[in-house]
Chain A
Amino acid sequence: MIQLENVTKTYPKASRPSLDDVSVGIEKGEFVFFIGPSGSGKSTIIKLLLHEVAPSRGKVVVNAKDVTTMRSWKIPHFRRSIGCVFQDFRLLPNRTAYENVAFALEVIGKTKAVARRVVPEVLELVGLGGKEHRYPHELSGGEQQRVAVARAFVNRPLILLADEPTGNLDPDTSIEIMRLLDRINRTGTTVVMVTHDSNIVNQMRRRVIEIESGRIVRDQARGVYG
């Protein structure tokens, strides 16, 4: 599903690489945590998988497609198979929960009719039934993140990437979001989550890949934060 082969990423003007000769494989349906201190290079992995940045060396394969050599005009279509959730939610403030999710469908060419059918369903799934017409500022942080998860999942992507999704949430809300991600994972979606929230990692007992200074220092099947 996801394959990094000897990937090195050095940002321009950086003194040392963010990722240094990293090789890792993730199977379909896995739930994987990337952990490590700030600046360890774990967020770079998300950017590489989305093809927001290109690796300096090595190969990145996602959904059996070599992202490294992908032509730029193919990237938008490629991203439709990947959902993405961020620490800062990235919702459109002037649109309701429903409209935020529907927007993601409409801009990739789905009709309003499809949106009317699919959006309430996915909002129900993330536990926002009845709050479809609230604006982001009328929702709590956890609820906003649920909207973001609904938007990421509405296309039924093969992979869900989550970059510190609980970073702005209190512990209880974080656990709820994790339950939600777990539920999505059980539908067969591969979930890759970057975090430094030890509490959550310890509770979930899933595969943990620890990165330090751009290198993998641990890869454990049912790991804890350590």
Chain B
Amino acid sequence: MRFKYVLNEVLVGLWRNVTMTIAMIITMSVSLTMLGASVLMYMQVDQMKNYYYGEIEVSIFLREDVTDAQRATIEQAITSSPLVAEKVYETREQAFEKFKVLWRDSPDFVKSVTPDSLPESWRVKLKDPEQYEAFHAQIEGTPGIQDIVDQRELLDKVFKIFNAIQVGALVVAGFMALAALLLVGNTIQVAAYSKRREVAVMKLVGASNWFIQAPFVLEAVVAGLIGAILGFVFIFVGKVVLLDGRLQALTNVLTPIPDGNVWLMLPLLAGVGAGVSAITAWITLRFYLKV
């Protein structure tokens, strides 16, 4: 009977103020979508770092006018370095072959390039990619080297972009969450006011505090949960439509998002949505329902 009473109160409460309830659910769902997207992106970047950092190479491009003596010194420096795991020498011709494959869709461009216009290079894999700075310092200044390029630097630029998007999503999530919380607070105030007579009687006859407060808190929790489910649907649809569909080319570079990670967002969003709503409602009640 008590359960039925509470449930009934919750449904009546949500319906009594249905426009506010909808506003609450929408802001909550947008905020949680942003949060979920941001968490997914964080997990993704982490996964990509693991994947790509293992594959990272340092490229050492030689000067066009490099002498045989210099070439030998450079090879010696690379071979003797304890940081190096693997090394491959790439001639101008090999570079040109790669170049032709890479730009096979633009034959005119390929025609304008000859093997001579490409530098010869060393491709070096480090035992520990994090040791790039040390390796760079070791080899730098050896005559005949044109440029040392670490793929990690390129990747870090990409990750920085991801990071910026992620932070942006979190900021939006934060602002929407603030709006959602204010709406929750307001809804609870309105609910408490419209039930002030009942609450007064309940206090008078000695209904327990949780019994008085539960319908209000649950009202907010239900709205939060609906918002979370909507947010999850947005993320799921977004993943299927955008990443698996339209931006598939990009997804190949990005390493695919595992479905498990996406499903993980459901309990996360539900937990955050319900928990935050409950706490907000409870705090609001402390001010508006002095027990």
Contacts and interface: CB of A to CB of B under 8 A. Distances in A.
Given A79-B204, A111-B1, A92 B209 contact: no
Contact of A73 (B201, B203, B209): B209
Interface stretch (A11-19, A99-107, A203-211): A99-107
A201 to B, nearest CB: 25
A128 B49 CA distance: 79
A107 B205 contact: yes
B204 to A, nearest CB: 6
B1 A112 contact: yes
B2 A109 contact: yes
Contacts of A79: 203-206
A60 B212 CA distance: 26
Nearest to B211: A107
Interface string A98-134: 0000011011110110000000000000000000000
Interface string A120-153: 0000000000000000000000000000000100
> Which DSSP category, helix, strand, loop or mixed, fits chain B's interface?
helix
Contacts of A50: 204
A76 B201 contact: no
Contacts of B211: 107, 109
Interface in B182-206: 197-198, 200-206
A104 B201 contact: yes
A184 interface: no
Contacts of B204: 50, 79, 84, 90
B205 A104 contact: yes
Taking each of B5, B204, B209, which has the highest tally of chain A beta carbons within 10 Å of its own beta carbon? Answer: B204
A78 interface: yes
A108 B26 CA distance: 36
Contacts of A215: none
Nearest to A84: B204
A65 to B, nearest CB: 13
Interface of A: 50, 72-73, 75-80, 82, 84, 90, 92-93, 103-104, 106-109, 111-112, 151, 155
